[in-house]
Amino acid sequence: MDVVIIGGGAAGLKAASRIRRKDAEANITVVDAGKYVSLGRCGLPYYVGGIIHEIDNLRETTYGAVRDEDYFRRLKNIDVLTQTRAVEIDRNRKAVKIIRGESEDELNYDYLVLATGSVPSKPPIEGIDAEGVVTLTSAEDAEKIVELWEEGAEKAVIIGAGLIGLESAEALKNLDMDVTVIEMMNRVAPALLDREMANLVENHLREKEVKVLTSTRVERIITENDRVSAVVADGKEFAADVVVIATGVKPNTELAVNSGLKIGETGGIWVNSRMQTSDECIYAGGDCVETTHLVTGKKILAPFGDVANKHGRIIGENITGGDVQFPGVIGTSVFKIFDYTVASAGVNETSARDAGIDFMTVIVPCPDRAHYYPRTSYIRLKLIVERGTWKVIGAQAVGTGEVAKRIDVISAAIQNGMTIDQLSNLDLAYAPPYSPALDPVITAANVAMNKRDGLFDGINSFELKKMLESEDIVVLDVRSEDEFKERRIESEKVINIPILELRERLDEIPRDKKIVVVCAIGLRSFEALRTLKGAGYKDVMILEGGMAFWFD
Amino acid sequence: MDVVIIGGGAAGLKAASRIRRKDAEANITVVDAGKYVSLGRCGLPYYVGGIIHEIDNLRETTYGAVRDEDYFRRLKNIDVLTQTRAVEIDRNRKAVKIIRGESEDELNYDYLVLATGSVPSKPPIEGIDAEGVVTLTSAEDAEKIVELWEEGAEKAVIIGAGLIGLESAEALKNLDMDVTVIEMMNRVAPALLDREMANLVENHLREKEVKVLTSTRVERIITENDRVSAVVADGKEFAADVVVIATGVKPNTELAVNSGLKIGETGGIWVNSRMQTSDECIYAGGDCVETTHLVTGKKILAPFGDVANKHGRIIGENITGGDVQFPGVIGTSVFKIFDYTVASAGVNETSARDAGIDFMTVIVPCPDRAHYYPRTSYIRLKLIVERGTWKVIGAQAVGTGEVAKRIDVISAAIQNGMTIDQLSNLDLAYAPPYSPALDPVITAANVAMNKRDGLFDGINSFELKKMLESEDIVVLDVRSEDEFKERRIESEKVINIPILELRERLDEIPRDKKIVVVCAIGLRSFEALRTLKGAGYKDVMILEGGMAFWFD
């Protein structure tokens, strides 16, 4: 059996290795246009930022062997042809034309695997091809950025505040550069986060002295002698020695298109759940294909390293006589941005609305371990719950603590269709160094049940601001006097009654006005709201997430 | 509505708070025999070890209020009677007799909640009541241990190597005491771990200079002037200034028994899934009740703080007109022992066998983040999978890395009945600082599928030792020469061929012998096994978990 694999990234090489493990005889050839194969590209920002010292670290095995051509030949009897371009597929003859340096050749296949990955999606603006304007998707890109820095580059502008953009911001800040991030949408990490969660990240970036501009459109790049000198956005000029274009990637489908394979509505190669393209002898996986979102049922692009690895395994399995299926994804993601971990799974408000889902949200800041245990951090967790079924369909979390754990657990819950009631009783591992007695995941489910059952109404920071401007409300801050002095909502409509004094001081709270209760994270507000309701107050709500979610 | 709650721990106070949140009018009285209520008892070992400085920290809210009688009265309008014993329940008259100091009183109830917790289960040995012999289940216990230490105690013997025993070992070692742990079973943490996983923990304890004796029975405690001076176990004497009895707890059911409530086969109070006892006006929750194990279907005791909190909420909900059910547990647990996190969920081999389940296991050491990312730790993960259904039914993990996260995710998988095939494609959050591209959870599922599908056979350290003694085998170590020099299986039957040279040196490997392949963690062994199988070798297996699971 002859197998040709185009693309030596995660999907391609995982498929190759899987085939070899199951079939000792197959002839396996991997063709890749680049210099390196099997490069852990997700590690590139950490190479730029100096956290990882050698590019080669990104293509080593756990036991320190560099995964180069020799490694694949000797270890797995797989032929890897680097710096080799696959230029044409002849599906009738089952042959791939390749070009290597000056010479042209042809490879015959019984099965072909397209693992052609993605290419950066660059905006069509003036100056985009100037010296100093880079992307960060290849080893060469990373080396180029480091080279520019070594040559003295001091000011960086990053266009796009998605995952790669923000990781690049941290990397360049680590190099002590002056960093500005410009994002077209109204928030950072828009694919992952809703606005209030993104605000937390933006505040953290500012703490770390990264400038962030949202709702800002880049117009052009100014050059001097073909070198970038500034970026113009919303009419303003931002000086730049380096510009990182981080406006996303698009599937690399050129070969697939040219050979008449079906392309999906997203622009990715169409595959069935066995990862077969419209030609049953041609499989495809990784960044170049589209996949199914398990919450919305829609086709989406999921250009992630973990997904590519899973695709590769499934392709290898099916080519060697297996019959396994890839179910799809829910977009579970995580990234590190300075001291914060940011993660999400399932839908956010934007994607839920786009999918026509009727949903409810709760915001729950929680300690990530027993609050009395040293070095406890707060996680800010948001759940998105489908109304009616009360299934969890999305989650976002931001903070310095164990954020990734909670999103992974909720991700498993979403993929199993768990309701908030079921989530509330999930048996999770508790000990003071690892979790409060009720894990943030469970607390979030409990808060969601309280909201569903009408035990409280909540509003967010943006809504409260509008109310303060236009309505005759009372904001009841139930924190201690010290907490109140330190930071509070600045308005004459705010009164401070510490929670322990609330029952004794009810006469200070007007019965004829709308009352919004505020505390640090929402816990005391809920207690206060229940007390007020019990005392006959009708129109009471809380600021969800408390002062942790109040944006001045 | 009058509600009386006996027991001011997690279950009792959570029930009380929940009732108040839903019912402003109810008269709620909590009766507790101790001095403090609402004490985070799981934090006691950390108080002893000096990690938490004040006992009061363990009964503070997240916002620093001490949860004492005044707190409950002012904040929640709940009457908490401390140092008050409930001595008799008159179910006909719906009244509880209480004794407070000299005075006796009676409380009437519409609903009664038994949250009487657990009491230490002490072995019936000579000297158990001597001065210096303590348990660690109350604030008084913790204060007593610190007092003994302050008075100059230097040698501690801990009887029982369960969760509390091991946490106590770390705490006392932190105080620079000489610590010996004696366990009757053949391994530490026997309720959580199988033998090879427990071995890892024992090795770590020894690294930290804690002496560990397993399969060792304590015979008696020797005293001098009514003070402990030594512990005798298996005929040997161990000098001791402090002895911590950590041989488990048993449900405190005295009141329930005396009032004729149904007691379960486990010795815990029987409750239905609504947490009602055999008297529908009496609810019970926390350590004093039994619950259902969701994998085995058996009744078990689950004396854990998180479970008690969940019980409390459900009781409060149901007493105020709700109808919610507690599904049961799968015994998900975690503890910290020095640099290691140890966690488990579902069944282990012992409990699976007891339940008559036919199962398969795999052992998978994995880096807990991208292996090229700095400070990556190894997690040693074990999966237990039901044969036939191929559902994950148990997991254990030990290591310095993000162990708790993986167990929580697998716990969610177990509770949702996920198969290894489903787990293999779970969408988890990947970025280099948080996970390898394929999370250890997914890798473990993949390894399990490989084993199920016959792609490899594995044996463990104990089996290999026996084979080395009695069979004419070849152990093929495929690590590098340096790795091999550093630490290896000491036997003439071992040969070293680094994995990259394997295909070229096949002629050095006899075709007529059983071959056991060994590497660092099992990854290269699997590769080598597939290579040998491909080259026609028939009888090949791997040491599961590699040298990470070789116990000299």
Q: Which residue has the tokens 């950390």?
A: B46
Q: Please give the domain boundaries of chain B with CATH numbers for all domains.
A: 2-118+250-319 (3.50.50.60), 133-247 (3.50.50.60), 339-452 (3.50.50.60), 458-549 (3.40.250.10)
Which of A45, A36, A42 lies closest to A8 in space, CA to CA?
Answer: A36
Query: Which of A68, A373, A408, A540 has the most B C-beta neighbours within 10 Å, making it the best mutation to test the interface with B?
Result: A408
Residues in A touching B46 (Cβ below 8 Å)? 373, 432-433
Helix (H) or strand (E) holding A22: helix A10-22
Contact (Cβ atoms closer than 8 angstroms) between residue B4 and residue B97: no
Query: Quick check: A435 and B501 CB within 8 A?
Result: no
Reported as a single tens digit per residue, the pLDDT across A353-397 is 999 999 999 999 999 999 999 988 999 999 999 999 999 999 999
Nearest to A427 among B63, B308, B330 (CB): B330
> Count of CB atoms within 10 A of residue A482's CB?
9
Neighbours of B143 (CB within 10 A): 14
Q: How far apart are the first and last CA of chain A?
A: 65
Q: Which site among A372, A405, A529 would you substitute to test the B interface, given the most B Cβ atoms closer than 10 Å to its Cβ? A: A372
Q: Report pLDDT for B103.
A: 95
What is the reported pTM? 0.97
Residues B308/B273, Cβ–Cβ less than 8 Å: no
Residue from B38, B21, B61 nearest A480 by CA: B61
DSSP A429-460: ---TTT--SS-HHHHHHHHHHHHHTTS--EE-
- Angle separating helix axes A461-470 and A195-207, nearest 10 degrees: 100
Single out the residue of B60, B49, B36 nearest to residue A371, CA to CA: B60
Q: How confident is the model at residue A138 (pLDDT cuts 50, 70, 90)?
A: very high
**Nearest residue to A420 via CA among A359, A349, A378:** A359
pLDDT at A552: 83
Residue B336: name the closest of A541, A370, A349, A477 by CA. A370
d(CA A159, CA A64) in angstroms, rounded, equals: 35
CB-CB under 8 Å, A424 with B408: no
How high is the mean pLDDT in each 10-residue block of chain B (552 residues)?
Answer: 97 98 97 94 95 93 92 97 97 97 96 97 95 95 96 97 98 98 98 97 98 98 96 97 97 98 98 98 98 97 97 98 98 98 98 98 95 92 98 98 97 98 98 96 98 97 96 97 97 97 97 97 96 97 96 88
Query: Cβ contacts (< 8 Å) between B15 and chain A: which residues?
Result: none
Cα separation, A58 vs A204, in Å, equals 28
The answer to whether B306 contacts A428, with C-beta atoms less than 8 Å apart, is yes
For B29-60, the DSSP string reads EEE-SSS-SS--GGGHHHHHTTSS--GGGGGB
Residue with tokens 């040709």: A4
Burial class of residue B224, CB neighbours in 10 A (0-12, 13-18, 19+): exposed
Q: How far is B214 from chain A (nearest CA, A)?
A: 24
Average pLDDT over residues A115-121: 97
Q: What is the mean pLDDT of residues A532-541?
A: 97
- Percent of chain A residues topping a pLDDT of 70: 100
What is the three-class DSSP state of B24? Answer: coil
CB pair distance less than 8 Å for A65 and B374? no
Cα angle A306, B501, A52; round to 5 = 40
- Selecting from B407, B519, B530 the residue whose C-beta is nearest the C-beta of A21 gives B530
CB-CB under 8 Å, B523 with A63: yes
